[in-house]
A and B are shown apart, each in its own frame.
Chain A
Amino acid sequence: MEEKAKRTVRASVILAFVIIVIGLLINSRIQAYSLAPTSTPIELRGYPLWAIPIVYLYDYFSHGWICLLFAFTIAGIIYEFVPKEAITKYMGSSKVLGYGLALGMAPFLTVCSCTMVPLFGGVLYAGAGIGPAISFLLMAPAANILSILLTGELISWELAGVRIIASVTVALVAGIVISKTPWGKAVEKEHQVDSLASAAKVEIAKPPLDERLWSALKFGGYLAKQILPFFIMGLIAVGYLEAFLPEEIIKEYLTGVGGVLLASVLGGPLYTPTLVEIVLGRGIWVKEGVILSKGALLSWLMGQPYDIANALAVSRIVRWKVVLTYILIAWAGSVTFGLLYGVLSGSL
């Protein structure tokens, strides 16, 4: 009985913490203050070189900590409580369901690439095949809770929404196209497991609520530990970019059709799965609250599915041809959506 009471108390404390975190974010919305840095280039240039990162980081974290705390907490909670065994069970069952789950569930699974790649392999081997596997691989980093929240908070919610739509489309197209290519089919054939065990031997033990909540927070903390160092380095770079990258250069090279093309090419190699692309993108294109080219910024953000580290890990499972195909499709998608969004929103 005492044990039970202890567990209830522990669960309540953690739940209270989560509610406070959500409340903080809602409050910041109601007060309508910016969670993004507010320093202007002129202000930043007024500081000595060594002080710029400190000023910029302070500027960011004094507002941004709420958003980051919220993002990591929620990512942890969702990851813990999303029914993982249901996902894995159905992901291997049929193609349509495989695509549906890859696109619908991937965003809720904020995972590092060391989880992503095995999942990719699992989906490929276990039946749904290469199409859903590729869709999942492209979708998860492009539109997970963390990246969408940060895109929304730091840049704009409109752009975050467009980013989701664009990512879904590109991931689906890439999956379907690759599953139709001869080399895609060859990989699928090579890896397909002949017969799955009739009854999957998975019976997940559910620990008590307090332990699950704690484990959710721990996972959020783990994600933060993985991501924040890169994120902070990105912010330091952005501090200098904001101070010294003249607006004229951005307007000259990084807007318009040429800007979209350049952004789509730069986005890939510069991408690390650490949300840095969001801060960098903001540092480059958002000047005093105005987005210089929504189209180019979208292309830049969409560069991430073809980052090199991920491609290397995946190329160990599938052949280079498959990797090149999806990189090409992801690139074409980022250019197409960049141009389309730029034209439609009148901000190319």
Chain B
Amino acid sequence: MDENRGNVPTKEIRVEVIGPEPPCARCQAARKAVEKAAEKLKQSGVMVKVEKANIMSKEIVQKYGVLFSPAIAINGTVKIMGRVPNPGEVEKLLEEAAK
């Protein structure tokens, strides 16, 4: 019953950092913020899987439509678009998603 202290994470959050290929400076900054937040959440037992997605791929356009880069999607929903968030903000969004 003690999910929070268990070694086996109960949920995995999937984060896509969406930007052009090759990545631009702001997309790399966004990715770093996400990774920092993910690292922090890992310590409280929430698994976060960070992926890079190509903003110009048909698959992404089909899924999300037109986007400003960098965009960050959490569990398949774009939450941040066209700006670099700070790690704290991403952390909050991830915590929400983990609930």
Contacts and interface: CB of A to CB of B under 8 A. Distances in A.
Interface of A: 79-80, 84-85, 87-89, 91-92, 111-112, 114-115, 117-119, 121-123, 125-126, 191, 193-197, 200-205, 207, 211, 215, 218-219, 222, 317
Interface string B27-43: 10000000000000000
B98 interface: no
A92 B26 CA distance: 24
9 closest Cβ pairs, A-B complex? A114-B24, A122-B66, A88-B66, A202-B78, A125-B61, A121-B56, A118-B55, A205-B79, A200-B65
A140 to B, nearest CB: 12
- A contact patch SS: helix
A121 B61 CA distance: 9
Contacts of A193: 58, 61-62
Contact of B56 (A92, A118, A204): A118
A205 B93 contact: yes
B83 A119 contact: no
B95 interface: no
A202 B61 CA distance: 12
Contacts, number: 107
Q: How large is the interface on B (under 10, 10 to 19, 20 to 34, 35 or more residues)?
A: 20 to 34
A218 B61 CA distance: 28
A50 to B, nearest CB: 33
A122 B83 contact: no
25 contacts: A84-B68, A87-B66, A88-B81, A89-B66, A91-B66, A114-B27, A115-B24, A115-B69, A115-B82, A117-B56, A118-B19, A118-B20, A118-B68, A121-B56, A125-B58, A193-B58, A196-B62, A197-B62, A202-B77, A202-B81, A204-B79, A204-B80, A207-B85, A211-B86, A215-B84
B89 to A, nearest CB: 6
